[in-house]
Amino acid sequence: MRIFFTFLFLFFSNYSFAAENEAVTNNSKISLLSEENRVQKGDEFIIGLKFELNPGWHTYWINPGDSGLPMEINWTLPEGLEIKDIMWPSPEIAALDPLISYGYYDELILPILIKANDSYKEEGKFSAHLNFLVCKDVCIPEEAEIFGNLFEFSNEDILRSQKLINLWMEKVPKGFQYRISAKTSDRTFQLNWKSENAAMEAYFYPEQEGLISYNAKQFYKFTNTESTLFIDRPDRNKVNYDNISGILEISDGTEKKYFALNSSVEKVSFINADKTLEPTLILIVLMAFVGGLILNFMPCVFPVIALKVLSFIKESGEKGAWKHGIAFTFGVEVTMIILFFATFVAQNLGKSVGWGWQLQSSAVSSFLALLFFVIGLVLFFRIEFGANFTKLGNFGIASKGYTNSALLGLLTVIVATPCTGPYMGAAIGWGLVQPPLISMLVFIFLGFGVAFPTLLLSLVPSAMNVLPKPGRWMDIFNRFMSIPMFLTSLWLAWVAFNQTGMESLSILLLSFFVLLACVIVIKYIGRKSIISLASIIIFLNLILVMSFIPDSKPNNQKKIYLGEKWSNERVMELRVQKKNILVNFTADWCLTCKVNERVITNSEEFKKMVKNEDIHYLVGDWTTNNPEITEQLAYYKRAGVPLYLYWRAGSDEVKILPAILTKGILYDHLDIESY
- Which of 216, 241, 267 finishes a domain? 267
Residue ending a domain, among 267, 291, 317, is: 267
Task: Please check whether residue 414 lies inside any domain of the structure.
Answer: yes
**Residues in Cβ contact with 411 at an 8 Å cutoff, skipping those fewer than 6 apart:** 304, 375, 392, 393
User: What are the CA-CA distances from residue 93 to residues 149, 253, 433 (Å)?
Assistant: 35, 18, 31
Residues 72 and 151 grouped into a single domain: yes
Domain assignment present for residue 275? The answer is no
Residues 525 and 587 grouped into a single domain: no
Q: What is the pLDDT of residue 312?
A: 63
Higher pLDDT residue, 66 or 309? 66
**Domain shared by 23 and 87, yes or no:** yes
Q: How many structural domains is the chain composed of? A: 4
Higher-confidence residue: 265 or 627? Answer: 265
Contact 295, 301 (CB under 8 A): yes
How confident is the model over 113-160, as pLDDT tens digits?
999 998 888 888 999 999 999 998 888 999 999 999 988 889 999 999
Specify whether 322 is located in the same domain as 415. yes
List the end-to-end C-alpha distance of the chain, in Å, as a whole number. 47
Any idea what the CATH number is for the domain that residue 132 is in? 2.60.40.1250
**Could you tell me the pTM of the whole model?**
0.62
State which H helix or E strand residue 249 sits in: strand 243-251
Query: Is 555 inside a domain boundary?
Result: no
- In 3-state terms, what secondary structure has residue 531? helix
- ∠ CA(669), CA(670), CA(672), 5° rounding? 115
Cα dihedral value 199, 203, 206, 212, nearest 10: 120
193 secondary structure, DSSP code: E
Q: How many CA atoms lie within 13 A of 229 on its CB side?
A: 26
**Structural domain span for residue 92:** 2-172
Same domain, 341 and 425: yes
Candidates 600, 584, 592; CA nearest to 662 is 600
Does residue 77 fall inside a structural domain? yes
d(CA 324, CA 138) in angstroms, rounded, equals 70
Which amino acid does the sequence have at 58?
H
Asked whether the predicted pLDDT for residue 391 surpasses 80, the reply is: no
> CB 477: neighbour CB atoms within 10 A?
18
- Cα 374–375–380 angle (5° rounding)? 100
Q: Is residue 410 part of a domain?
A: yes
Q: What single string gives the DSSP state of each residue in 485-518?
A: HHHHHHHHHHHHHHHH-HHHHHHHHHHHHHHHHH
C-alpha atoms less than 13 angstroms from C-alpha of 241 in its C-beta half-sphere:
20
Share of the chain above pLDDT 90, in %: 33
Q: What is the model's pLDDT at position 464?
A: 64
Q: Are strands 615-621 and 564-565 parallel, antiparallel or unpaired?
A: parallel
Q: How far is CA 158 from CA 30, 148, 183, in A?
A: 17, 14, 45
What CA–CA distance (Å, rounded) separates 501 from 519? 28
Cβ neighbours of residue 605 closer than 8 Å, sequence gap 6 or more: 663, 675
User: Is residue 675 in some structural domain?
Assistant: no
Rg (CA), the chain: 34
Q: Do residues 536 and 584 share a domain?
A: no
User: Within 13 Å of residue 529, how many CA atoms lie on the same side as its CB?
Assistant: 0
Answer yes or no: is 556 within a domain. no
pLDDT in tens, 35-65: 988 888 889 999 999 999 999 999 999 999 9
Element (H, E) at 129: strand 125-135
Strand residue runs (E) in 398-550: none
Same domain, 142 and 207: no
Q: Is 465 a residue whose pLDDT tops 80?
A: no
Q: Which of 122, 148, 172 is the last residue of a domain?
A: 172
Q: For 328-346, write each residue's pLDDT tens digit.
A: 899 999 999 998 888 888 7
Residue 210 DSSP SS3: coil
DSSP codes joined into one string, 327-358: HHHHHHHHHHHHHHHHHHHHHHTT---STTGG
Judgement on whether residues 636 and 507 belong to the same structural domain of the protein: no
Listed residue (490, 484, 498, 485) closest to 588, CA to CA: 498
Domain containing 200 — which CATH number? 2.60.40
Q: What is the CATH number of the domain that holds 661?
A: 3.40.30.10
**Higher-scoring residue by pLDDT: 173, 414:** 173
Q: Are residues 368 and 496 in the same domain?
A: yes
On whether the CB atoms of residues 30 and 23 are closer than 8 A, the answer is: yes
Please check whether residue 219 is in contact with residue 204, taking contact to mean a CB–CB distance below 8 angstroms: no
CB count in 10 Å sphere of residue 414: 19
Model confidence band, residue 584 (pLDDT cutoffs 50, 70, 90) = very high
Over the stretch 185-224, which tens digit does the pLDDT of each residue have?
A: 888 999 999 887 778 889 999 999 999 999 999 998 887 7
Residue 147 lies in a domain: yes
pLDDT of residue 470: 67
Give the whole-angstrom CA distance, residue 292 versus residue 315: 25
pLDDT range class, residue 397, cuts 50, 70, 90: very low
Give CA–CA dist 474/147, Å, rounded. 96
Asked whether residue 167 falls in the same domain as residue 186, the answer is no
Same domain, 342 and 473: yes
Q: Work out whether strand 22-24 and strand 72-76 pair parallel, antiparallel, or are unpaired.
A: unpaired
Are 157 and 228 contained in the same domain?
no
Sign, Cα dihedral of 204, 209, 215, 218: negative
